Chain A
Amino acid sequence: MSFIRPNIRHPQLPVNDIGFTRADYEGALSTLCAGCGHDSISASILQSCFELSIEPHKIAKMSGIGCSSKTPAYFLGNSHGFNSVHGRMPSVATGANMANRDLVYIGVSGDGDTASIGMGQFAHVVRRNLNMVYIVMNNGCYGLTKGQDSATADKGSASKKGVPNPYSSIDLCETAIQLGAGFVARSFSGDKEQLIPLIKAAVSHRGFALIDVVSPCVTFNNTPKSTKSYDHVREHMNATGTFDFVPLKDEITTQYEPGKTEEITLHDGSAIRLHKASENLDFSSPRSAMNEIEKYKEKGEVLTGLLYLNPQTPDTHELLGTTSKPLNSLSDKELCPGSDVLKSINSSFQ
């Protein structure tokens, strides 16, 4: 019996700007099924945080219940984490974010955790524009409970059981765009070249950033009739384009062919340089995004990549006018300013 990960790493592992190697961002050994797409997404999250040189203790991983929601145990072992109840990650993330706005919040959820039991929570966390990255590991089924169709399973798609799904599916990206999210993207677990820059941009974006990642469940939903299998997604995937994530410190020098290349500066000063597949795409327009998604869907294709981006939306803290500092850095006096202040607040309502 093995399945014990060696402690030896590549002797020449590169270090990032703050002196850490990729190994410093690892977590426990995954217990998911061999070949599960979720593991690749974990690896992409790990790689993104390494490349962004975020100190691990400045990250909080939030999740619900499901195979997907288990994954935070398998990356960023030196970061904070909260594994909440099924479908309730958004409210726990909201509370955490309200208390400490300085951490990077990475929410990890499943399609069941988000689009079924957690749909209400999801809708409201989008509306509130909580500053977080929300990654859905979307396999079209409830992996952890043996593969029942989920609310994102496409109509007609069949999992291991072989029965075509009779219901229409929820498109989480369209929902998020509709509800006012500022950063919406779709990707595929098997395409790290696309996924890693997306995660890095999502972390840099202020406000709610959704990445819906199609992530095949090898055990229950990787069948020839499933629209979320490795083969199906690879054959039907179309990207809105490719893009480079340009961190703040790198000056932008190269010039690109106009029309197809567009540059968008994020709130923290870093930028996304998009090389669009078509000139007709307008990433700043919700309507254009929805149109494109639907256009591909009609053809039986999946549109991936960045779908919609508005870097200037106010996040929950701005909307509520909260204090600019994490609560744990406030002194007693600031937290409890005394009865005089209370009196003046009360009187302002009279």
Chain B
Amino acid sequence: MKPTDIENPEYFHKVVDCQYACPAHTPVPEYIRLIARGRYSDAYMLNWESNVFPGVLGRTCDRPCEPACRRGRVDEEPVAICRLKRVAADFKEDIKDRLPSIPEKKNGKRIALIGAGPASLTVARDLAPLGYEIELYDAQIKGGGFMRSQIPSFRLPETVLDEEVNYILDMGISTHFDHYVSSLKEILDKDYDAVFIGTGAPQGRDLKKLPGREAGDANIHVGIEWLANVAFEHTKSIGEKVLVLGGGNTAMDCCRTSKRIGGKDVRVVVRSPKSEMKASPWEIEDTEHEDIPIYENHSPKEFVTENGKLVGMNFEKVEAEYDENGKRSLKPTGEIVFMECDDVLMAIGQENAFPWIERDIGIEFGEWDMPVVDETTFQSTNAKVFFGGDAAFGPENVITAVAHGHQAAVSIDLMCNGIDVKERLEPGTNLVTQKMGFHEWTYDSPVTDDDRFVVPLADKIKSLSDRKMEVELGFDLEQAYNEAQRCLNCDVQTVFTTDKCIECDACIDICPTDCINFIQNGDEDDLRSRLKAPADNKEQDLYVSSDLKTGRVMVKDENVCLHCGLCAERCPTTAWDMQKYLYNVTKAGKGKEAGKACAK
């Protein structure tokens, strides 16, 4: 293999598994260390810069970082990255004076944001401090988008959401709430310099064709509409017997909400086997903790009504079959199961819908009637119109919406400065030694043995009787410290300097996870087959040096390195050093520098 190019900003970034997996590339280990040191406000601000809603995300994030976390590869469970973020939010001091100041003198550019979900709010957060004038439109009466209308208060208290939404709205944003935009043309006619569309994927799927759908209509609800009605207190109760259709996170929120506002016999009914449900494992766990049964392999057949009122549903049991490619099909068994109910909640998917966007204003729509949007710049085929969040590529999650928002803000800022939106800046990076002295590092290099700490929950009986009572209590400071110490500090990189190596083998001998090898070079497959320990995780890179004195090369399998620093401690010549790698996605505002760079 060719020597690894550690100058490539993505090489070491990829080693920080959590940060790499995070759509917004939040510097996770850095904030975890700040938490361990009791610097909660600093940890909060670091998060805020990157993901805008640390308090919200610390409770609700989809956490793509956790399945990626290195600790999960060497231990039973990953670091509780998400719940540590909540610790930063829970224990911070007042941080208002650390928020960016908003220039009184505006830059003369006006931006419209449609939809007040996390995507739009992120654009606002990035552009308002640069002097942009921002107008925000949303059909709801308050900001937050789905974070407010969909995520139930027992998972996300309103106070937490309000606080973080208001940090942004207080940046001098002009809001137009309770204002459904029914024509994009009208907005464009107002001559904004750019328009950002963050209207989400607001349409819940229905079972329009299922027999009995119309007759039972009064008690059959589309899940996301029903959740919004509960959130805005238009709906205050539900029947005792509730069937929730669907196996995703929306279904989990629907059933748990039902249990809190009148549902006694609440059941989740899914078509697929339970093992293939779309809901996150922790959401399923929480649901089961609240004694809500999940019926798998039941396919809805009909709504059963008596005298014009819904009384139950018929399901046909199915069996999952897999062909030789592992592709699943659900085979009907012919067995019909009847389940009684008072209400049905359909949580079987969500779709985008843009009835309010005219098709003759330069915005091209492609497959599935979705707008054609550039994946890097978020620009549509109308240069002034940008999309982000669920509106861009379909339903995802809050952190993805935030990541889109940041990038769309970069584009808008570039465009408003007359720079090509494709001229994007590299991330800001920094690589610094962590050596303090003999056996001394700036970070806690020892690896703890603790298993993942469990977040304590509120009393079940109490929380089931109060829709607004938060179920999770969050870590206390001792748990937080101990959980933080489980982090392996993957951003503290093992950096190898070929010229200094005397090939004494000390690093090979000390490495607890057999990462390091000195062998004859070869192609990647060949090298992987000859390493000291199995190296079959190809998603993880091999770090290869240039030729050493003996003609061999150093090959390190990054896969299960614990970043314990022992290689560097045992190295007599400091050929190995532990260096902290900071990687920051470039945000809007660097556009002018980019402009200068381009001008040169």
Contact = CB atoms under 8 A, between A and B. Distances in A.
Same complex for A and B? Answer yes
Contacts of B512: 5-9
Given A10-B513, A43-B508, A43-B509, A2 B534 contact: no
B513 A34 contact: no
B549 A234 contact: yes
A129 interface: no
Interface residues of A, number: 35
Contacts of B446: 2, 4, 6
Contacts of B440: 1-2
Interface residues of B, number: 37
A305 interface: no
B75 A34 contact: no
Contacts of A11: 73-74, 560
A42 to B, nearest CB: 7
Contact of A8 (B74, B444, B569): B74
Given A33-B572, A35-B572, A2 B504 contact: no
Interface string B156-191: 000000000000000000000000000000000000
B562 A43 contact: no
B508 A7 contact: no
Given A34-B569, A39-B509, A6 B504 contact: no
Nearest to A215: B504
Contacts of A40: 504-506, 509
B513 A42 contact: no
A239 interface: no
B532 to A, nearest CB: 9
B119 interface: no
A223 B93 CA distance: 57
A13 B535 CA distance: 11
A14 B533 CA distance: 8
B504 A216 contact: yes
A10 B514 CA distance: 7
A30 B510 contact: yes
Interface in A1-36: 1-14, 22, 29-30, 33-36
A39 B447 CA distance: 22
A94 to B, nearest CB: 31
Contacts of A34: 506, 569-572
A252 B16 CA distance: 48
A239 to B, nearest CB: 14
A230 B502 CA distance: 7
B591 to A, nearest CB: 43
A30 B509 CA distance: 10
Given A2-B441, A5-B512, A12 B75 contact: no
Given A1-B439, A2-B439, A7 B447 contact: yes
A12 B514 CA distance: 10
Interface string B489-527: 000000000000011111011101110000000000000
A48 interface: no
Contact of B503 (A4, A39, A190): A190
A13 B533 contact: yes
B506 A36 contact: yes
A216 B437 CA distance: 25
Residue among B504, B536, B560 with most chain A CB within 10 A: B504
Interface in A179-204: 189-190, 192
A64 interface: no
Interface string A203-240: 00000000000001010001000000011001000000
A66 interface: no
Contact of B562 (A6, A30, A216): A6
A222 B504 CA distance: 11
Contacts of B573: 35
B377 interface: no
A190 B504 contact: yes
B579 to A, nearest CB: 16
A10 B534 contact: yes
A118 interface: no
Contacts of A39: 505-506, 509-510, 570
B295 to A, nearest CB: 36
A143 interface: no
B405 interface: no
A192 B505 contact: yes
B323 to A, nearest CB: 30
A140 interface: no
Contacts of A4: 446
Interface in A37-77: 37, 39-40, 42-43
B115 to A, nearest CB: 45
Residue among A1, A14, A218 with most chain B CB within 10 A: A1
B503 A230 contact: yes
Contact of B504 (A10, A14, A37): A37
A35 B504 contact: yes
Contacts of B562: 6, 8
B492 to A, nearest CB: 12
A262 to B, nearest CB: 26
Contacts of B570: 34-35, 39
Contacts of B514: 9-10, 13, 22
B506 A10 contact: no
B321 interface: no
B449 interface: yes
Given A3-B439, A5-B564, A30-B510, 13 more contacts: A2-B445, A2-B446, A4-B446, A6-B512, A10-B533, A13-B533, A34-B506, A34-B572, A39-B505, A40-B509, A189-B504, A192-B505, A231-B549
16 contacts: A2-B565, A5-B510, A5-B512, A8-B447, A8-B513, A11-B560, A12-B533, A14-B533, A34-B506, A34-B570, A35-B502, A35-B504, A37-B504, A39-B510, A42-B509, A234-B550
Q: 8 tightest CB-CB pairs across the interface, nearest first?
A: A35-B572, A6-B447, A43-B509, A2-B445, A4-B446, A40-B505, A12-B534, A35-B504
